[in-house]
Amino acid sequence: MTAVELPQFTLVDRKRSRERARRVGRVRVLVLVGYGIIGVFGLVAQLVPSLEHRMTDQSMRDTFLPPLSPGHLLGTDVLGRDSLWRLIGGLGVSLSVGLTAAALSVVLGLVVGILGGFFGRAAEVTTSVLVDVMWAFPAILLAIVFAGWLGPGLPAVVLALALTGWASFARIVRGEVLSLREREFIAAAQVLGVPKVVISFRHLLPNLLPVKMLMSVFFVATAIVAEAGLSFLGLGAQPPTPSLGVTLAEGRDYLNVTWWPVVIAGGVLTVLVLLLNGLSDDLRDRFDPKLRERS
């Protein structure tokens, strides 16, 4: 191809471009902070077995110590366990549950969405009926049903969250695939006789990357909240596993005695969700210029 001289715009709106640069810079910092936090707690989650005694050591003499007590930066809980270690362990549990559930939902949603959008009428009808049935149940309700099935515990929570999460994602993926399959490169591949499975892997999957990243972050946030909620109800993490939900439930019973376990655990959970929401907003801004213009 011969090089075509593109018209150069010399009149640059200085203020606008500076503002844009600043915004992109801020986005990068937030993304880094977000990944840093997730990485640290992911590591702690890996280390949980060797640190477990710190989270479960009890002492009936030192119950309900206030924050900043000697040896216990955030004080202790009803069994005299160190609140800071419980918090760190709980965050590790939250993030590993969130990441696992998100990964499972994304994979399931991709499979069902691509099947529904690209593999003919029968697949389309079957998958959309499946999605509608799943959608009939509020997420928490299905989670409760699964907790009843597998018995309360984290595996039930992960399974329930994965099985409720995929339905909404499958619907989004299907929409994207429907528009992708009209594009020339997909049509060209089909005309060349490339099998549909190969097209799915080689051409559809890479083009679904922005949606995948966005929804993963969103799923991690919702799964973390749902895990805490189910553990709060007694259907999730079982003692002595540390979990923000369990800390909140214990705090609820002793609200007359002391208020800070509820405030600290609730605050940490909220900040975590805010961070993840910020992360997904930034990802959306980067990947979807159309949305950026509108907001």
Partner 1 sequence: MEYAVKRVGYAIFVLFLASLVTYLALRATPGNVASSVLNPATTPPEVIAELRAELGLDDSMWQQYTDYASGLLTGDLGFSLVNRTPVSTLIGDSATYTVVLAAAAFALAFGLGVPIGVLAALNQDGWFDRLVRLVASCMQAIPNFVLALLAVLVFGVRLGWLPVSGAATASSLILPALVLAAEPGALTTRVTRTAVLEQIAADYTRTLRARGVPRRRINWIHILRNSLSPIISLGAIQIRTLLGYTLIVEVIFRWPGLGTQLVQAVLNRDYPVAQTLALLLAAVVIVSSTLSDLMYRWADPRVRLGGSEPS
String marking each residue 162-181 x if it binds partner 1 according to CB under 8 A: -------------x------
Task: Tell me which of 31, 103, 140, 213 binds partner 1, using CB under 8 A.
Answer: 140
CB of 32 to partner 1, least distance (A): 20
Radius of gyration of the chain (CA): 24
Measured distance CA(159)–CA(154) in Å, rounded: 9
Q: Which is nearer to partner 1, 202 or 252 (CB)?
A: 252
Measured distance CA(248)–CA(254) in Å, rounded: 10
| Helix, strand, coil content of the chain in percent (nearest 5) | 75, 0, 25
CB of 148 to partner 1, least distance (A): 4
Indicate whether 248 belongs to the interface with partner 1 (CB under 8 A).
yes
Name the one residue in this structure whose structure tokens are 């002793």.
254
Task: Tell me which of 155, 213, 273, 284 binds partner 1, using CB under 8 A.
Answer: 273
Indicate whether 138 belongs to the interface with partner 1 (CB under 8 A).
yes
Q: Containing H/E element for 24?
A: helix 14-56
Q: Which is nearer to partner 1, 18 or 252 (CB)?
A: 252
Q: Which stretch binds partner 1 (CB under 8 A): 20-28, 32-40, 63-71, 273-281?
A: 273-281
Indicate whether 263 belongs to the interface with partner 1 (CB under 8 A).
yes
Which residues is 288 bridged to in the sheet? none
Q: Which is nearer to partner 1, 231 or 241 (CB)?
A: 231
CB of 254 to partner 1, least distance (A): 11
Q: Is 123 exposed, middle or buried (0-12, 13-18, 19+ CB in 10 A)?
A: middle
Which residues is 72 bridged to in the sheet? 69
The token pair that represents 216 in the structure block: 């993963």
Number of residues near partner 1 (by CB under 8 A) = 39
Q: What single-letter amino acid sits at 118? A: F
Q: Which is nearer to partner 1, 199 or 280 (CB)?
A: 280
Chain positions 201 to 230 lying near partner 1, rule: CB under 8 A, are 225, 228-229
Answer yes or no: are the C-beta atoms of 85 and 64 closer than 8 Å: no
Indicate whether 88 belongs to the interface with partner 1 (CB under 8 A).
no
Indicate whether 129 belongs to the interface with partner 1 (CB under 8 A).
yes
String marking each residue 27-66 x if it binds partner 1 according to CB under 8 A: ----------------------------------------
Cβ neighbors of 90 (< 8 A, separation 6 or more) are 242, 243, 244, 246, 247, 265
Indicate whether 19 belongs to the interface with partner 1 (CB under 8 A).
no
* DSSP E strand boundaries for 196-295: none
b/e map 209-245, b = 16+ CB within 10 Å: eebbbbbbbbbbbbbbbbbbbbbbeebbbeeebbbbb
**Residues at the site binding partner 1, with contacts judged by CB under 8 A:** 129, 132-133, 135-141, 144-149, 152, 175, 225, 228-229, 232-235, 248, 251-252, 255-256, 259, 262-263, 266, 269-270, 273-274, 277
